[in-house]
Amino acid sequence: AQSVAQPEDQVNVAEGNPLTVKCTYSVSGNPYLFWYVQYPNRGLQFLLKYITGDNLVKGSYGFEAEFNKSQTSFHLKKPSALVSDSALYFCAVRDIGTGGFKTIFGAGTRLFVKA
Amino acid sequence: GAGVSQTPSNKVTEKGKYVELRCDPISGHTALYWYRQSLGQGPEFLIYFQGTGAADDSGLPNDRFFAVRPEGSVSTLKIQRTERGDSAVYLCASSLGLGGTDTQYFGPGTRLTVL
């Protein structure tokens, strides 16, 4: 069965510092991996995805994520955090082997960027 | 263009009542998904449609939950004999329907409260 773990409920970082939001996954086959962000009273917004190819994926708002197959991780990163990045971040996975449409989300990590 | 829309934005009902939640996907998207998000949790997969048919309904918690998409566009999630535990935000998403690499676009959700 597919599963996603986001080990940190909250990540605190000072504005201008680099940030990392962690995600590990478990699938029986090869994964498709996604990151979404949720702002208060708004729907989930797509940030980036890994399908195949280069392990470093670049996405919206300066975010990037690195796929590490041996560690089954897909951590979200940004070189310099902004206060406006404060939001709830979700990692998600689809198992290619099961046909790929069912998506499993992690429990979310709240990012707090302090000015 | 218009995004995914969901109506109503809020629904308050009494235990035992029947409710319908509506989702209007992005025009041209053949895939449609329903998720349930409880407080402090990530979205939980309920059902996925490809066109008019439910391709995967493995996430529906029990037979009180049912969803339809009769013309391959608008979808309705139906909950019979509501229980207090059904209180959550119900999210709808749509995608092009090309496969597991699809990016899902989410609506703002319907907040269901069962008293």
Chain A neighbors of B43, CB-CB under 8 A: 44, 90, 105
CB B24 within 8 A of CB B4: yes
Q: pLDDT digits over A61-85, tens only?
A: 999 999 999 999 999 999 999 999 9
pLDDT band, very low/low/confident/very high, at A101 (cuts 50, 70, 90): confident
- Checking if the pLDDT of A41 tops 80, the result is no
Q: How far apart (Å, rounded) are the C-alpha atoms in residues A90 and A73?
A: 14
Look at A90 and B41 and tell me if their CB atoms are within 8 Å: no
- Is A106's CB within 8 Å of B43's CB? no
pLDDT tens for residues B81-115? 999 999 999 999 999 987 778 899 999 999 999 99
Name the one residue in this structure whose structure tokens are 């990045």: A85
Least Cα distance to B67 among B4, B114, B9, B20 occurs for: B20
- The encoded tokens of residue A65 equal 């994520």
For residue range B58-78, list pLDDT tens digits in order: 999 999 999 999 999 999 999
In this predicted structure, the answer to whether residue A35 has a pLDDT above a threshold of 70 is yes
The contact set of A with B (CB < 8 A) is: 4, 32, 34, 36, 42-46, 49, 51, 90, 92, 94, 96, 99-108
Task: For B31-99, give the DSSP string.
Answer: EEEEEEE-TTS--EEEEEEETTEEEE-TT--STTEEEE-TTSS-EEEEE-S--GGG-EEEEEEEE--S-
Higher pLDDT, B32 or A94: B32
| Residue A65: strand pairing partners | A57, A76
Q: For B85, phi and psi rounded to 5 degrees?
A: -70, -10
A40 pLDDT band (50/70/90 cuts)? confident
